[in-house]
A and B are shown apart, each in its own frame.
Chain A
Amino acid sequence: MSAAPDYRLHRNAFGRLVFTAADGAVCEGVALVRAFPISAADAGFALVDPYGHELAWIDRLDDVPEAWRTLLAEELASREFMPVIAQIVAVSGYATPCVWTVETDHGRTDFILKGEEDIRRLAPPALMIADSHGIHYLIRDRNALDAHSRKILDRFL
């Protein structure tokens, strides 16, 4: 556990995260971003201002005071959107573009896959699928999917 941070955080009435630095400088609309959203989601966060400049680095969320942790967790929950595909229910066809129906950790949804190249291989066995609107769906371990999903996925790989 590192030393307590020298800045302060709170949420204002507009729902924005406000950062107050040690020297009293105030920055509104701060965002918390993960440095390695896929490979190490729980380690390495940065607080950045609306212009993208880094204000503070947080190694682990455990390092910040309890009260802020919920604040930051809320911020992440409302900002991050990378549904993890748990199951591929159906596809409309094996030639792209086609509609995929998937079960994700954010619930069931449909999306359009524009081309096979939108399925990107990350460090195996992870895959990332970008839909026609640019939302990224993650498959953490393609071998851990059920047989039906794997069979569908195989047709596109």
Chain B
Amino acid sequence: MNNRDASPSPAVSIPAGTSALPVPEAWRPRLEAQLAAQETVLAWLEIDLDARLRFSPGLVILTDRRLLAHAGGDADWQSHPCRAGLRLQRHDHAGVGSLELLDDAGRLAVWRYTLGADVAAGRLIDHFDRQIAFHTTGVLPPAAAQALCPLCETPLLEGQDDCPNCSKELNEPPSTWTLFRLWRFAHPYRWRLLAGFLLSLASTAATLVPPYLTMPLMDNVLIPYQNGAPINVQLVGLYLSGLFGAALLAWALGWARTYILALVSERIGADLRTTTYEHLLKLSQEYFGGKRTGDLIARIGNETDRINIFISLHFLDFATDVLMITMTTCILVSINHWLALVTLLPLPIIAWMIHTVREKLRTGFERVDRIWAEVTNVLADTIPGIRVVKAFAQENREAARFRAANQHNLEVNDRVNKVWSVFGPTVTLLTETGLLVVWAFGIWQISQDTITVGVLTAFLAYIGRFYLRLDSMSRIVSVTQKAAAGAKRIFDVLDHVSSVPEPVTPVHLPAVTGRIELRDVGFRYGTRSVTRDICLSIEPGEMIGLVGHSGSGKSTLVNLICRFYDVTEGAILIDGVDVRSVPVAEYRKHIGLVLQEPFLFFGTIAENIAYGKPDATRAEIVAAARAAHAHEFILRLPHGYDSLVGERGQALSGGERQRISIARALLIDPKILILDEATSSVDTTTEKEIQKALDNLVRGRTTIAIAHRLSTLRDANRLIVLDRGRIVETGNHDELMACEGHYYRLYQAQVQNEEGSGPGDSRAGNADKEEDRA
């Protein structure tokens, strides 16, 4: 051991509160053999990759004396006593984190892990740095005062016991009894459903009367007549009117039942659609980034419809079938139990067949659904990009892509149909065979005089219906599976917990001043660490310009501030309150956003301006439009503020659309304003007009602006220069130019670009504008 490795005496030992999480059970025996007496474990990191990146468990342990590591596999323990000059570094690439132990001369060791362990690595480094500081200076730096989540190091807010980050990682699969979960939507209609069920019961009973009446009709009228007795007209009339009455009753009851249940199922379907859509809207930006539009539309549209049809038609039929079979069985047994037994023999066989085919069909139908979504996706991808398709003359290729998706659809359907098509006829075959058995057994029984001809006739009449029901019951297998697959896809959406969760104990902010503070903010998108260790404090009313190459993390930072995503490390505070503890909608009310590509909804211009505040008065709308320099061009339109704008505002120019979106932001009068490349997609003349509008907007608000053209940020109080997810420079234009760093180079590159371009070029106009403003 190194001499300098003086272990801390008990008097200065580790303060309470920094006690490490217990070491994983599996490692304890092997670790205890390694530790010296009174050596305390401070932090540990379970690594799951060895030096050659093979999966193999290992452990890195920090004690109060040294760093102890087991690199996985058959490797031995390595010990690195704490001493001055040692440092730990972590970085990650493609989902693999590396932890390096370095001193001034070189690298001593490197350990690798998959990113699930990244938080533990961060914690290990914190503890390590404090220990090294202790060994160097003899004083142990204080631990972070804020309560941190033990699993992910997210600062916990007051009154928050569960970490909002960890609790949202629900990795349990949803239950397979998906269809029963639909009960949640059926519950409000339970009484009507009960009425429907009772009507089903009654109407089924009514349909069972006619076959029963064939028995006396045969035995008391037809057979005696054949044997020479005259026909008893009165009796015939009685039986026939009984038959007619039963049919009439069945009709009336059936009608009432179908109507009530269709009514209910339609409402359940509507509720399902609305709930799914409402839930979908609450999900974070992250969710929409990973899904394709076609797929989501298909889920809300087709799947709910399928479930709807299932409930109103198939489930109902199935219930009726079960009722009918039970009742028929009772009647048959009461007439003649031997014949009933023979009649019911094929039933188990059919039930078994249904069961075996079930599994195959279910997976098959699930795939059919997914393939169908794929076909829709091709359309959803191509139609918005039709200009590109045409410009590059790739119509044939896109057609081929669609054909291929369709072909795939056919193949999958063919495979399902192969199983499905053999299913129906087999049931019919079994039915016929069953009838045959009844005939044979019935004739034998008549010859033995145990039953009458009437009984056999009644049996055959019942069985005809009975097997018919079995046949239709076999259909339920496929539709149930289809509906279950649909329900699963719906619940996939409903079960998705927003990665921007609503706070458990919300803090309300009725009025904000607009102070924003970013504390050690880090954000990771998949494996890519987009931003890290961002510390920034923005005063109320200050205008901040975010500058940097594309991909330097500007938009990410803005998305984090808007809370489209949640930070993975650190915290963002508004007026000193963590944004995660403010209800999402309430928080966003304070934020006005102007994007590069303004999106106008289908509707009038007035509606579009009032989008964020639907109850705005006409005067407010006009005032906002005036301030946004949109009033005059709106008046020039034939219908003024009532002019309709299309899905993407086709009739308006880019600058006009942008000014409408500025008016939209002005109307909600936000304290915080975010301009994300608001002037990038327009030419410089338009930019000037937009700039005027923006000047009105910015006044008195905390503003965060991203702009590609640095000249547009000259008014900013401070410019924040970002590079690869970190803040590299801060200051106003002149200061940053003076220090000749990142910003200087960016600026020079742009000026050169502008000088290099011809006089007709928009960028040359931009340079003119700079002169104007100077």
Contacts and interface: CB of A to CB of B under 8 A. Distances in A.
A117 B367 contact: no
Interface in A45-92: 51, 77-83, 92
Contact of B170 (A12, A97, A106, A117): A97
B52 interface: yes
Nearest to B495: A95
A147 B512 CA distance: 61
B275 interface: no
A22 B106 CA distance: 26
Given A97-B172, A99-B171, A134-B527, A81 B55 contact: no
B114 A135 contact: yes
A92 B53 CA distance: 25
A17 to B, nearest CB: 12
A134 B526 contact: yes
B290 A115 contact: yes
Interface string B109-127: 0101011100000000000
B407 to A, nearest CB: 12
Nearest to B528: A134
Interface residues of B, number: 44
B102 A116 contact: no
Nearest to A31: B93
B171 A132 contact: yes
A32 to B, nearest CB: 12
B436 interface: no
A98 interface: yes
A12 B106 contact: yes
B96 to A, nearest CB: 4
A136 interface: yes
Interface string B239-267: 00000000000000000000000000000
A88 to B, nearest CB: 15
Interface string B148-177: 000000000000000000000111111010
B39 interface: no
Given A96-B173, A108-B55, A135-B114, A155 B366 contact: yes
B56 interface: yes
A109 to B, nearest CB: 4
Contacts of B292: 117
A93 to B, nearest CB: 4
Contacts of A95: 173-174, 176, 488, 492
A136 B95 contact: yes
B176 A80 contact: no
A4 B632 CA distance: 67
A130 interface: yes
Contacts of B749: none
Interface string B548-587: 0000000000000000000000000000000000000000
Q: Point out which of A92, A97, A116, A118 has the most chain B C-beta atoms below 10 A from its C-beta.
A: A97
A117 B102 CA distance: 41
Contact of A14 (B102, B169, B174, B367): B102
Nearest to A108: B55
A106 B55 contact: yes
A133 B94 contact: no
Given A117-B290, A135-B115, A77 B173 contact: no
Nearest to A96: B173
Given A94-B173, A95-B176, A135-B94, 10 more contacts: A81-B94, A92-B173, A97-B170, A97-B173, A108-B55, A109-B48, A118-B290, A134-B115, A135-B115, A157-B370
10 contacts: A78-B112, A79-B94, A93-B173, A96-B173, A106-B49, A107-B55, A107-B56, A130-B526, A154-B367, A157-B370
